[in-house]
Structure 1
Amino acid sequence: MKDEHRRDDEPSDWFTLDNAAKIYPAAHTDSKPQVFRLSVTLTSPIRVARLQDAAERMIVRCPYFRVHLKRGAFWYYLERCDALPLIEPLADEPVSGFAIRRTHDLLFRVLARDATVAIDFSHVLTDGHGAMRFLASIIAEYLRLCGEPIEADPWLLDPDERPAAEESEDAYRRYFRKRLSKPPELGPAYHVPGFPLPGYRVITGRLPVAEALATAKRYGATLTEYLTAAYIESVVERHRHQSESFIRPRKSVIRIEVPVNMRRLFPSRSMRNFSLFVSPEIDLALGEYTFDEIVKIVHHTMNVQLDPRQLLRQLGRNVAGELNPFVRVVPLFLKDVYLSYLHYRLGDRLYSGVISNLGRFSFPASVEKHVRSVGFTLGRNPVRKKDCAVVSHGNELSISIGSMITGRELESRFFRRLVEDGNAVTVSEVGG
């Protein structure tokens, strides 16, 4: 029997994983679930039945998200399924971890409580850009089903519109160029030590965007550069305190992974992953740094690494590895072992933390008036232990630092820097 929720014009019954997604199934564990959360709080309580209808209409519009993960002989792939998202209660847990290999599960969860809608996404499915657009479209459709007049907008996905082929493309393949030199090899970085928490704690600071932008401008930096420098300074302080203890740190490099939305440099309408990274760092073996010096290093490093030619080297290395004839014929059970190791060697091991700044979470005016606030949280990572997620809406900047360890010294120093620079920060905490 034909599923009444399926469209007659939908594409094939399976999708390959995009280049970034290929590593996530192998790296996925219960303690490192490779998920992130986006949330929107409205001005009125959620009507769950209407939200359910909106989510169902939007998942039919986005067949590349209506999939579950399957094992092939050589690679994982995404198989189309008839599952529909079921609205679940939003608990106090900052980000839910879910088993991506369950045969009939979607790779995202929609949750609601009071006036808040949240979606937990597996990174196998999409990145922050695709997640923001999908959630914004669900919110707009929900409001329309509630009787609100919602204007059409290019940012919003129309549930009555056929999906564009480019939405499901692997944009990494599209921009891949052969025979580019590889980016420089990086050495291991310092990781903040600490005693493990039983759960996951998120400390969120909210402050006016205008104040934060003005502060960054005073330092001659962008907002992302300023926040990255503040985070590095906070890690430096933890390194200094540890250096004064009986267990001295073995690593002197503090390096932060800063995701880059590649669509800003290489046009693409892909709703799947299309992000790479820049990696500003300082080496404490060379001496001490003032905050102004850290800002300058971050600013100049990011300017160099954000050059499209530099990013293409990183993209080329990643895609060339996937296309390597030997790699392609290695059985999946062996790839799992290798890719898990690769994720550690080229990922977790190299970074003291992550700062992911999604930028402005925007809505058309007809939706905007119903939105009170937004949130963004990264999932757990037992190697880095702490990561930072940033998003803005209206004149509010939200900065959430997730932690798997008990100590709050890093978060305290980070937000103290913002306050010392004249920002009015309101701090809250969940989980733990």
Structure 2
Amino acid sequence: MSKQKEEYYWHRLDNAAKVFPAVRSSSNSSVFRITAKLVDEIAPSILTAAVEKALAELPTFHVKLRKGLFWYYWERNFQSPIIVEDSTYPLRRIDKRQSNGFMFRVTYYGRKINLEIFHALTDGAGAMVLLKSIVYFYLKQCHPDVITVNELIAETGFSQHALDEDSFLRLRKGSKRSKSPKVVPAYQMKGTRYFGERVDVTQGILPTMGVVALAKAAGVTVTVYLTSLLMYSIYQNNYKYYAEDKPIVFSVPVNLRGFFQSNTIRNFFSFVTVSLNFYEQDYTFEQVLESISHQMKDALKVENLTERIAYNVNAERNLAIRFIPLFLKNILLRAIYSRGEKGYTSTISNLGQIKLPQEQLPFVERFESLNNLTKHQCFKVCLCSLRDYMTVSFVSGMEDKDVERYFFRFLAEKGLDVQIAGNKGDEDEIL
């Protein structure tokens, strides 16, 4: 295809993406980070070449965000990404003037490759495809005689149409709801909050099978176990000192690809909501586990996921909404998003077990993930695993670390070997 024709390449934002350009602000960057920590120090020149090769293989990410009359859209970006050493706080807003128009940034520090990406471009699972492709091309240049398997081609057959699909459109039929779900004000964490871009990251590196064993013994999934522990930690160290008749409410993002057989690398996620009102009852940890497990099982039924997605897609495609000018849509979306944000205490995201070809495993130590904070959520948790180790990352805009301390001490008292890392240099104080 000639460059002249490529200049006309564009595609619409997917259903989940449309809200992010409207709501990003100084208090909400809508940026998340995933990191691959390698065994050896990162070589910047090799990393730059690896990013360029990965983008050539994944043109879905080789785009810039443009503003139309009615919607934002993606258009081919002919610039090259800028790769720099990580030197400040994570999850900052992406300024396209500093990124050659790309809505992601790749940085490095020591042995880490960081991919920070604007959520309108993709979700965690889609971003992981890009990061793993970067890691593949990086290791391929460092160890050409050892690294041979390109996982993207091996697993998906490399169908660009499948990778670029807006999978939400499959689920636009079937919604019978006439109104949006009711938002109940949630408990908001209390404490001194930082101003500006500062965020604290506290990470616990845990034995994967140890966490799995704890969850199995309790008869629940790992996500349910750690979600319940987070809720109980907030109750014990923050909530119970304030007499508020509000529930602790979590948003739990769900990767929809396994439910609806999709290989897309664009956004294809929804979220489930779990909550408990400790003002009404003094729950034990076991009772929290039982309640959260029941709520998750019900929310993850395919018919319930489909109903929620179909409502959102049909609302977007309503003619009365489609032809509202973009500046008015942005005002409407910001109001809806702000109202919805008040209904959550925090978000806990699980990227699950990250799989790599066997030949890459000796060169990669672990993966990490971080999620951005917002005005009403000054505290978020992300987790992912590689082989024998799970990384649980707390992202906080608050001074005190009582919840993190309780969370990791609880697991240590259950017999797990908990290693603490972070970006503050006071890891020894956490446990």
Q: TM-score w.r.t. structure 1 length?
A: 0.91
Using the TM superposition, give the Cα deviation of residue 417 of structure 1 relative to its aligned residue in structure 2, in angstroms. Answer: 2.1
**What's 1:52 paired with?**
48
Using the TM superposition, give the Cα deviation of residue 104 of structure 1 relative to its aligned residue in structure 2, in angstroms. Answer: 4.4
1:27-176 paired onto structure 2 within 5 Å: 27-99=23-95, 104-148=100-144, 149-155=146-152, 164-176=160-172
Relative to structure 1, the CA distance from residue 179 to residue 132 in structure 2 (aligned partners, 3 Å threshold; closer, same or farther) is: closer
Indicate conservation of the 8 Å contact 1:93/1:431, yes or no.
Answer: no
Q: Percent identity?
A: 30
**What's 1:188 paired with?**
185
Partners of 2:24 and 2:400 in 1: CA distance? 25
Partners of 2:252 and 2:96 in 1: CA distance? 25
Indicate conservation of the 8 Å contact 1:137/1:156, yes or no.
Answer: no
Segment of structure 1 superposing worse, 266-275 or 361-370: 361-370
Partner SS for 1:350: coil
Deviation by residue 1:330-350 (Cα, 9 ceiling, x = unmatched): 11111111101111223x211
Using the TM superposition, give the Cα deviation of residue 163 of structure 1 relative to its aligned residue in structure 2, in angstroms. Answer: 5.0
Partners of 1:53 and 1:332 in 2: CA distance? 37
Deviation by residue 1:364-387 (Cα, 9 ceiling, x = unmatched): 011112111221111122211100
Which of 307, 315, 320 pairs up with 1:321?
A: 315
1:24-423 paired onto structure 2 within 5 Å: 24-99=20-95, 104-148=100-144, 149-155=146-152, 164-181=160-177, 184-198=181-195, 199-243=198-242, 248-249=243-244, 251-346=245-340, 348-423=341-416
Q: TM-score w.r.t. structure 2 length?
A: 0.92
Partners of 1:121 and 1:395 in 2: CA distance? 27
AA aligned to 1:322 is E
AA aligned to 1:359 is G
Partner SS for 1:279: strand
Indicate conservation of the 8 Å contact 2:345/2:377, yes or no.
Answer: yes
Segment of structure 1 superposing worse, 330-339 or 411-420: 411-420
Root mean square deviation, CA, Å = 2.4
Partners of 2:402 and 2:21 in 1: CA distance? 33
Partners of 1:100 and 1:254 in 2: CA distance? 36
Indicate conservation of the 8 Å contact 1:59/1:84, yes or no.
Answer: no
Partners of 1:38 and 1:360 in 2: CA distance? 14
Indicate conservation of the 8 Å contact 1:172/1:315, yes or no.
Answer: yes
Relative to structure 1, the CA distance from residue 12 to residue 299 in structure 2 (aligned partners, 3 Å threshold; closer, same or farther) is: farther
Partners of 2:268 and 2:176 in 1: CA distance? 19
Relative to structure 1, the CA distance from residue 112 to residue 359 in structure 2 (aligned partners, 3 Å threshold; closer, same or farther) is: same
Partners of 1:275 and 1:111 in 2: CA distance? 26
Partners of 2:424 and 2:172 in 1: CA distance? 41
Q: Which runs of 5+ in 2 are unaligned?
A: 426-431
Segment of structure 1 superposing worse, 78-87 or 13-22: 78-87
Q: Which runs of 5+ in 1 are unaligned?
A: none
**What's 1:19 paired with?**
15
Partners of 2:369 and 2:114 in 1: CA distance? 9
Relative to structure 1, the CA distance from residue 304 to residue 12 in structure 2 (aligned partners, 3 Å threshold; closer, same or farther) is: farther
Partners of 2:167 and 2:114 in 1: CA distance? 27
Relative to structure 1, the CA distance from residue 359 to residue 404 in structure 2 (aligned partners, 3 Å threshold; closer, same or farther) is: same
Segment of structure 1 superposing worse, 94-103 or 305-314: 94-103
Using the TM superposition, give the Cα deviation of residue 33 of structure 1 relative to its aligned residue in structure 2, in angstroms. Answer: 0.2
Indicate conservation of the 8 Å contact 2:139/2:147, yes or no.
Answer: yes
Using the TM superposition, give the Cα deviation of residue 142 of structure 1 relative to its aligned residue in structure 2, in angstroms. Answer: 1.3
Indicate conservation of the 8 Å contact 1:94/1:430, yes or no.
Answer: no
